[in-house]
Structure 1
Amino acid sequence: MTPAKHSRPRWLPLAAAIVAAAGSAAALASSHREAPFITTAPKVDGTDLYMFMSYEAGRDGYVTLIANYQPLQAPYGGPNYFKMDPNALYEIHVDNNGDAKEDISFQFRFQNRLNSVALPVGGKNVAIPLTQAGQVTDLRSPALNVTETYSVDVVRGDRRSGARASVTNAAGGSKVFDKPVDNIGTKTIPDYAGYAAKHVYSVNVPGCNMPAKMFVGQRKEAFAVNLGTIFDLVNAPVAVITDPALINAAPNTIDDANVTSLALEVHKSCLTQGSEPVIGAWTTASLRQGSLLDPTPKKGHQTTAVSGGAWTQVSRLGMPLVNEVVIGLPDKDRFNGSKPKDDGQFADYVTNPTLPALLEIALGLPITAPTNFPRTDLVTTFLTGIPGVNQPANVVASEELRLNTGIAAVPFAQQNRLGIVGSVLSGGSDFAGFPNGRRPKDDVVDISLVAVMGGLCMANGDTNAFGFGVACKPSAVPLKETAFRLHDAVDQAVVPLLPGFPYLNTPIPGAGAQ
């Protein structure tokens, strides 16, 4: 269904339900170093997943998917910077019938080529120690000492045994694509925006009769959060985080960081199935079960690893921050290796979430968290999607980022930073935002802070009007007065973005003009 088919009273409680869904699953930062094992393998650490109807002019009907990896990249991270792992498998999965299993998987593999650039020194050609030996302006510049390429396969059905075919360049049919070098600095790459734009490809997706777009490369971190303060037990005065006038009072802690994006823009007709407009998505990264290092690389060659065994999933991300602040520490690695179809094993973390209790401790305000347990209301909204918004007709409960492709995109200027709930509460008509997918402008942090303090139960009332459970009522929400005023003092809406694909902004240079 589309929002136009519901009356305003219907959408007000739905908005509160949406807030609660976000509160159980998304919370206080993007997914950085969220599980014990992944801290040892940052190249396969997924940080954010975005999925939204493209709002660039002329791209009606297209869906943008962006999976970010390698968190908190320092722009000055030379001389090797942040190349992707050639021994890893990066994937974006799409479930288009609600059964908690992938129906389409986009699989990215990377190759790094050492070009062994050398300079004549005293009559000898000697290999340089840097990534570059001069200015870089074009694809595969001869000044680059290392070049990265990648290929993308589309697998339909099971990710390992399904039918496989390659994405190809619409210009020439090549199956291999160039990835831009990271933004070393303005002396090396004077016009990084122009250089990166040469790596936006028009591609043919197997089984799809509509041309798609693709970009893989470094971007400026698009997530805004008061990161250090949040994880220091929300080390900010309560008066600040409950005053809407102070929403931009704190600096965005990760405003000086970059990230690596795997971005696709695919027409919705190539992602949906039959008459079902809702799709779910998540991104994963996998490594081989075993790896043997070469202890003595040959002269002129880099250390290599011979990997073998089955692919082993080590990272998973759908809705923001599930593993980081919802899943308990003993099960974080297990969650990263799991599939949506098996999410019943993590049900306690949703029905009895610890995040509200942790906020209670952090804010020094005892008995402020909702008291209705088990949180079946959160199970409904978080694991199935919201009825009438983004719930598939035959949904199987599972954690995925879900998008109703039948709800049209909203231009950037008209987007409400609080997504659907903000639009409804302000009398607007923006129903294309979080948790109906996720756009870069959506402030999932603030939506979540409101949610964990009981927005759903305020809407459900004393009569269980919307079926979220008789215990989910206003009396179960001690912090009624400030529940809808909470924020992290950082404004997601002011993060600079591009007006079109790949939407995330030019990365910060390692040196030169900022």
Structure 2
Amino acid sequence: MNQASKRIAVVGVGGSMLAAGFLAGPGTSPGLASNHVDAPTQILDPQMDVTDLYAFTSPDRPDTVTVIWNYVPFELPVAPLPWYRFATQGFYDLHFDSTGDGKPELTYRWWYRNGDGSGDPKAKPSSVYPDFGKPLPQGGDNLSAYTGGAGSWEQPPGVYPYTPEATDPYAGRVTKPCAGNVRCKTLFPQAYRLEAIRPGQRPKVLLENAPVGPYGIEPKFAEKWKRAIVPLPGGGQTFSGQVKDPFFFDFRAIALTRVGMPVAPPFDFFTPFNVHSIAIQVPKAELALGGDVQRNPVVGIWATSSRRSLNLLDKAAKPYRQVSRQGLSMFGDSLMPHLLRGAYHNASSPQTDHKWPAMIKAVHHPYASKLLAPGLLSLPPKEPRIDLEQVFLTGIAKSTGPIKMDLTSHVLNRDADRTKIVPAEMTRLNMMTPVTPKPNQYGLIGGDPQGWPNGRRLTDNVTVAFIRMAMGEPAGRGTLLPTWLSPITGPAKRITDSFPYEATPDVRRAVNRTRR
């Protein structure tokens, strides 16, 4: 990179960092866009700070659902800092609720540990993991490299197996073990165990010692990246590693949600940054109630992360405590008042949301609508906002409120017990909604029912969509001003056509863009 490019990179990154203070909004509690920083405790623990959650029908495999959620916000496209990795003294959970009671019928749990074997207290140390010299299983029952046996659910061995010499399926040449081989080593190697947890059953180990992907600055990046896409027993696949942050917004839109006026240039704050991502793709039948997607198309999804507890005095304290939660995008950031965000992330669960009066009040009487109205030359919609309750707490159905369409409510699941369905904040996905050939970035507001808040695609503009919903759409007329045309129309780096769909991490100059 020449000196001029270096100066541009510094200006680009520096401008983004200076904007952070503005994005934090009024008050002392942080509140960056789309949950990149919500609670004060997350500032000091970026490894556990869940930034975004995406859930959608896989466009190239429509019989599956892909869920993506990201951690470690604001990773600069330079040599990785020590915290640019997954946490080892804790775990990451992804929950699925098919009945609507706010309790998960299925949870996937990731335990990470470093290459020296430290981290996961339940796993045996391993001196040779992760071994990127081992070719990935190529379908069928050949899952022994990650589960300890052909399709086995049993507890696998603690050491990741490898062959002394194996044909590299990507380079067409013989690859030796990782010792001294830059082709398969990573800068800070990590690996993980993946468990599937169902109520009343012991956790099933799906993967053991599966590799975390490389950093963008590493040599032979593409080969290492492919090896981090790991098949799952029973179908599906998963990925963990660094990616380009897919979140995007027009700075004018976020200025509206912070100070009530679009007093900012058309500028995407997140252009320079990478994040660490967890992605999983699973058959829809695994998620649907009773395995029947047609009868029970709606599933609720949320992510949590938990740290090892440091409470040494209370013998009744749990060994791990929740430190972060992410349901439907824009809820924790733009609907929950600042003073409630810590409790939302650290001490709340969808099964008890309906018993939290302050949360219900925040939805029925949103401060965002009052803040936005003057800058949009409009009046706040009439309260209580049952339409926002549909979007964030009950799901959208003709029977649940003024948005008259059957889309994301658990009442659409024929086999669900309606007496047990409760208001709960989560991402809801209708798995029977067809994939849109030409997605609209505003999702439902833009006439595209497959987009946000019916799950969330990587190309959905949730910030502008939320502003329009806060002002009354689609149940009412909304703002008197037309939605502005923005040069920020998608992620800073174009997404891909295959799993995990996110772009590879950026290592080029970090320049703020005004058009793609």
TM-score between both structures, scaled by the size of structure 2: 0.70
Encode CA deviations 1:56-97: one digit per residue, 9 max, x unaligned. Answer: 2xx121100111111111121535361111001101000011
- Match of 2:351, SS state, is helix
Q: 1:312 is matched with which residue: 318, 321, 329? A: 321
Structure 1: state its 5+ residue gaps.
1-26, 118-131, 169-174, 205-209, 242-248, 293-307, 425-429, 460-476
> Which residue identity is paired with 2:194?
V
> Which residue identity is paired with 1:154?
A
Deviation at 1:261, TM superposition (A): 0.9
Deviation at 1:235, TM superposition (A): 7.5
> Which residue identity is paired with 1:105?
T
CA distance in 1, matches of 2:325, 2:190: 24
Residue of structure 2 in register with 1:492 after alignment = 490
What does 1:2-41 correspond to in 2, within 5 Å?
29-41=33-45
Residue of structure 2 in register with 1:261 after alignment = 277
Encode CA deviations 1:412-469: one digit per residue, 9 max, x unaligned. Answer: xx112121331x3xxxxx432111111101111121121222224526xxxxxxxxxx
Alpha carbons 2:94, 2:302 under 8 Å: kept: yes
CA distance in 2, matches of 1:88, 1:224: 29
1:401 aligns with 2:457: no
1:54 aligns with 2:58: yes
Alpha carbons 1:48, 1:317 under 8 Å: kept: yes
> Which residue identity is paired with 1:167?
L
Q: Which 10-residue stretch deviates more, 491-500 or 250-259?
A: 491-500
Alpha carbons 1:52, 1:403 under 8 Å: kept: yes
Alpha carbons 1:179, 1:216 under 8 Å: kept: yes
1:281 aligns with 2:290: no
Residue of structure 2 in register with 1:153 after alignment = 195
CA distance in 1, matches of 2:381, 2:443: 26
1:437 aligns with 2:455: yes
Q: Which has the higher strand share?
A: 1
Alpha carbons 1:498, 1:504 under 8 Å: kept: yes
Deviation at 1:359, TM superposition (A): 2.4
CA distance in 1, matches of 2:229, 2:95: 21
CA distance in 1, matches of 2:266, 2:328: 25
Structure 2: state its 5+ residue gaps.
1-30, 118-126, 129-177, 398-405, 412-417
Residue of structure 2 in register with 1:111 after alignment = 113
| Pair 114,369 (structure 1): closer, same or farther in 2 beyond 3 Å | farther
Encode CA deviations 1:362-409: one digit per residue, 9 max, x unaligned. Answer: x3x67x342412222321332111111111123321111011111222
Alpha carbons 1:441, 1:495 under 8 Å: kept: no
Deviation at 1:181, TM superposition (A): 2.9
Residue of structure 2 in register with 1:197 after alignment = 226
| Pair 53,349 (structure 1): closer, same or farther in 2 beyond 3 Å | same
CA distance in 1, matches of 2:257, 2:283: 43
Deviation at 1:495, TM superposition (A): 4.6
| Pair 330,89 (structure 1): closer, same or farther in 2 beyond 3 Å | same
Residue of structure 1 in register with 2:388 after alignment = 378
Residue of structure 1 in register with 2:183 after alignment = 137
CA distance in 2, matches of 1:291, 1:257: 35
CA distance in 2, matches of 1:94, 1:107: 12
Encode CA deviations 1:318-352: one digit per residue, 9 max, x unaligned. Answer: 11121222111221111012101111311111011
Residue of structure 1 in register with 2:445 after alignment = 421
1:330 aligns with 2:343: no
Residue of structure 2 in register with 1:180 after alignment = 213
- Match of 1:69, SS state, is strand
- Match of 1:347, SS state, is helix
Provide the aligned C-alpha RMSD in A. 3.2
Residue of structure 2 in register with 1:167 after alignment = 206
> Which residue identity is paired with 1:353?
P
| Pair 410,491 (structure 1): closer, same or farther in 2 beyond 3 Å | same
Encode CA deviations 1:180-223: one digit per residue, 9 max, x unaligned. Answer: 2322x2xx42x42332112111111xxxxx41111111110001
Encode CA deviations 1:132-184: one digit per residue, 9 max, x unaligned. Answer: 9988432xx2xx46420101111002xxx64310113xxxxxx220112322x
Alpha carbons 1:224, 1:490 under 8 Å: kept: yes
How many residue pairs match? The answer is 396
What does 1:342-357 correspond to in 2, within 5 Å?
342-344=352-354, 345=356, 346-357=359-370
CA distance in 2, matches of 1:212, 1:37: 34
Deviation at 1:357, TM superposition (A): 1.9
Deviation at 1:360, TM superposition (A): 4.0
Alpha carbons 1:35, 1:324 under 8 Å: kept: no
| Pair 199,494 (structure 1): closer, same or farther in 2 beyond 3 Å | closer
**Greater relative contact order: 1 or 2 (C-alpha under 8 angstroms, separation 6 or more)?**
1
Alpha carbons 1:268, 1:405 under 8 Å: kept: yes
CA distance in 1, matches of 2:444, 2:257: 28
Residue of structure 2 in register with 1:85 after alignment = 87
CA distance in 2, matches of 1:235, 1:277: 39
